[in-house]
């Protein structure tokens, strides 16, 4: 009986401290994630690798993977690729730069590799995407302008 009471008192005393430790760990994890995402947003065009992110945030690649996977449900590489492909879609939609230039601006020095990845992700080539999206985008803008008149 006394041993159980003593042990339960120890657990009760440590409970707030354990919660503080969990909160501090969560805060640190969130800071690492924010730093990594910010770095991606600022440097994606440089052809980043996961090791570059881990070095910038000053954590191991494995820990960075765990943070991304636990928080976002994807690896840092998947997040980086998704970010670059989203940026590529924006560039293809909003300007007339060549696919080679779009690839370079998204961190892919090899336009053939970029086009293959884009096709795998989007189900069409960057040029097809540009033509289809641009046409539908122009049509939508035309309808919106007509509705304003």
Residue bearing the bigger pLDDT, 147 or 122: 122
Those residues whose C-beta lies under 8 Å from the C-beta of residue 76, and which sit 6 or more positions away, are 36, 50, 53, 54, 64, 65, 68
State the Cα–Cα distance between residues 91 and 83, nearest whole angstrom: 12
Distance, in Å, from the CA atom of 94 to the CA atom of 28, rounded to the nearest integer, reads 38
Give the residue from 68, 79, 75 showing the smallest Cα distance to 33: 68
Q: What are phi and psi of 109, to 5 degrees?
A: -70, -20
Q: Which of 4-8, 44-48, 54-58, 101-105 has the lowest mean pLDDT?
A: 4-8
Q: CA distances (Å), 56 to each of 27, 29, 49, 72, 110, in order? A: 18, 14, 11, 19, 25
Q: Is the pLDDT of residue 34 over 60?
A: yes
Q: Evaluate if residue 79 carries a pLDDT over 90.
A: yes
Q: So what's the pLDDT on residue 16?
A: 54
* pLDDT above 80: residue 8: no
Assess whether pLDDT exceeds 60 at residue 69.
Answer: yes
> pLDDT at residue 12 above 80?
no
The pLDDT tens digits for 16-28 are: 556 565 556 677 7
Residue 119 has pLDDT above 90, yes or no: yes
Q: How far apart are CA 97 and CA 95, in angstroms?
A: 6
Residue 88 has pLDDT above 60, yes or no: yes
């Amino acid at each position: 009986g006394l041993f159980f009471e003593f042990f339960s008192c120890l657990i009760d005393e440590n409970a707030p401290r354990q919660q503080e430790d969990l909160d501090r760990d969560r805060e640190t994890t969130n800071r690492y994630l924010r730093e990594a995402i910010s770095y991606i947003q600022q440097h994606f065009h440089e052809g980043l690798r996961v090791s570059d992110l881990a070095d910038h945030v000053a954590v191991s690649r494995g820990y960075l993977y765990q943070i991304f996977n636990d928080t976002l449900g994807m690896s840092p590489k998947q997040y980086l690729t998704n970010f670059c492909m989203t940026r590529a879609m924006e560039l293809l939609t909003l300007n007339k730069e060549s696919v080679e230039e779009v690839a370079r601006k998204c961190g892919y020095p090899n336009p053939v590799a970029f086009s293959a990845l884009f096709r795998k992700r989007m189900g069409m080539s960057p040029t097809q995407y540009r033509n289809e999206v641009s046409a539908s985008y122009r049509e939508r803008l035309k309808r919106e302008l007509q509705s304003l008149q």
